[in-house]
Amino acid sequence: MNVVVVGGNGGIGSALVNVLAADPKINKLFSFSRCQGAAKTTCDKVIYGFVDLERESSIQQMGNSLEGEELDLVIVASGLLHDQDLKPEKSLRALQMANMQRLFMINSIAPALIAQQLIPKLRKRGRTVFAVISARVGSISDNRLGGWYSYRASKAALNMLLKTTAIEVNRTHPDAIICGLHPGTVDTSLSSPFQKNVPENKLFSPQQSAGYLLDVISKLESDDSGKVFAWDGDEIPA
């Protein structure tokens, strides 16, 4: 199998790279991110590449660098909730156009452009998977608490882009599965400011979550394309 992880330097992304690197079924493992940092393994099947998801040309270059490869599995593990300039909004008053645009760029638009580049490289015959890490808070029907306007909306938009992609891809690649995944609440820099009220047994390590997600991916069937699944395999409603 040939596998791509986008966001391979993130908390969940680097755990996925480490688990996948140890899988003897995997021949080549491409890990793309802005920097490699601590995620770099010495395993020689891992090939590191650069991508900046805020630049369309960088996503195109990532696609070009995979010319001639036949991919079996793509996992997009990148995403943004907060950084030094941006916090999830608690109220309408906090909305700012530039922050909203950045979240939509990284969480919704970039995964769609990655799909544009990498889905044509999925193996034509046999089961293939294009999975993007979404979030339960992107479910409109599950939104009971409000808040986190842009993050929620960017993940809801991501889920719609994945559903639309699944419908198109089914015409040419009936065995390809396009899906969103909710990793649970995972102890990474993305969740660290928001872990206070999470019970200890509900906070997964990145390794735990990566294991759950790969298990869910391994059980997906063609009819699951276009849907979003949680770490335990349950479907998350739109």
Residues that bind ligand NAP (CB under 6 A): 7, 9-13, 33-35, 51-54, 77-81, 106, 133, 135, 182-183, 185-186, 188-191
Residue 31: CB minimum distance to ligand NAP, A: 10
Residue with smaller CB distance to ligand NAP, 10 or 88:
10
Residue 115: CB minimum distance to ligand NAP, A: 15
Residue with smaller CB distance to ligand NAP, 79 or 173:
79
Residue with smaller CB distance to ligand NAP, 118 or 173:
118
Size of the chain, expressed as the number of residues it contains: 238
Three-class SS of the chain: CEEEEECCCCHHHHHHHHHHHCCCCCCEEEEEECCCHHHCCCCCCEEEEECCCCCHHHHHHHHHHCCCCCECEEEECCCCCCECCECCCCCHHHCCHHHHHHHHHHHHHHHHHHHHHHHHHECCCCCEEEEEECCHHHCCCCCCCCCCHHHHHHHHHHHHHHHHHHHHHHHHCCCEEEEEEECCEECCCCCHHHCCCCCHHHEECHHHHHHHHHHHHHHCCHHHCCCEEECCCCECCC
Residue with smaller CB distance to ligand NAP, 183 or 226:
183
Residue with smaller CB distance to ligand NAP, 61 or 170:
61
Residue 233: CB minimum distance to ligand NAP, A: 16
Residue 237: CB minimum distance to ligand NAP, A: 16
Query: Would residue 96 be called left, alpha or beta, if left means φ above 0 and alpha means ψ between -120 and 50 degrees?
Result: beta
Q: Give the residue carrying structure tokens 């996503």.
A: 59
Residue 194: CB minimum distance to ligand NAP, A: 8
Residue with smaller CB distance to ligand NAP, 17 or 166:
17
Residue 57: CB minimum distance to ligand NAP, A: 13
Residue with smaller CB distance to ligand NAP, 113 or 176:
113
Q: How far apart are CA 104 and CA 96, in angstroms?
A: 12
Residue 65: CB minimum distance to ligand NAP, A: 15
